[in-house]
Amino acid sequence: MTNKKEISAGIIIIGNEVLSGRTKDINTSTLAKWLNKLGIEVKEVRIVPDDEIAIIHTVNFLRERFNYIFTTGGIGPTHDDITAESISKAFKLDYGFHKEAFSILEKYYKPGEFNEGRQKMAKMPTTAKLILNPTSGAPGFYVQNVFCLPGVPSILQSMIGGLNNILTGGDPILNKTINLRTVESEIAKSITEIQKNNIDVEIGSYPFFRAGKLGVSIVVRSPNKEKIDVCEAEILQFVKSKGIEIVEDV
């Protein structure tokens, strides 16, 4: 079975707090794993500050290159949450209160709690389609192929499932990991040869350090399980010939 079509995505992480190191980015991992299951391969990830020009430039550049773009962060109630307005400008759309989003938030909060800051979360491109938020009420939104999600990981994770029927993917991208008690220099030549013989399969090697010992994880990725199986067999063959230990739990 071959991939129906290569569907690509880019991720834009927005926020000064990520660039400064105050906040650790885990949204990239969440999005990439989810998209792989849908047959959508993440090709590029960028982290940009809460800066309108940077957001507009990055969105406009990447949305022309990839099938889908996902942004995280900058759609909250504070002054530095400027993603929604920046997206409006990137697409040259009116920015203001989204009627449906405003109605959702107005019903979500108790009387008197829907203050000016919370109302700001209903401001976005007025013609955008909403991404419903089952956790905290405030919806995300999307315009054409650009999907805007919150930066809080738990909230983002609760929202992405609602997009499964909206996105069009290819065959799910499968992966197989083989963990070895070795160093990369010991296996580099063998892995290179296997990669040359299997050019349509992605093979990566990633060092790890556990229990005071070095190791390498070999990850094989492809939408085709048979091709993964072939690569795995070739890897296990040289692993056995070199007497390298396989680590079961990493």
One digit per residue, pLDDT tens: the chain, 250 residues? 344 578 999 999 999 999 999 999 999 999 999 999 999 999 999 999 999 999 999 999 999 999 999 999 999 999 999 999 999 999 999 999 999 999 999 999 999 999 999 999 999 999 999 999 999 999 999 999 999 999 999 999 999 999 999 999 888 889 999 999 999 999 999 999 999 999 999 999 999 988 788 999 999 999 899 999 999 999 999 999 999 999 986 5
Q: Cα 95 from chain centroid?
A: 26
Residues 6+ apart with CB under 8 A from 182: 214, 215, 216, 242, 244, 245
Residue 176 amino acid letter: K
Mapped onto helix, strand or coil, the DSSP state of residue 199 is: coil
For β-strands 123-125 and 95-97, DSSP reports them as antiparallel
Total-model pTM: 0.83
What burial class does residue 97 get, using C-beta atoms within 10 Å of its C-beta: 0-12 exposed, 13-18 middle, 19+ buried?
A: middle
Tell me if 179 sits within 8 A of 245, measured CB to CB.
no
Q: Cα 201 from chain centroid?
A: 21
- Hey, what domains does the chain have and what are their CATH numbers? 7-163 (3.40.980.10), 174-246 (3.30.70.600)
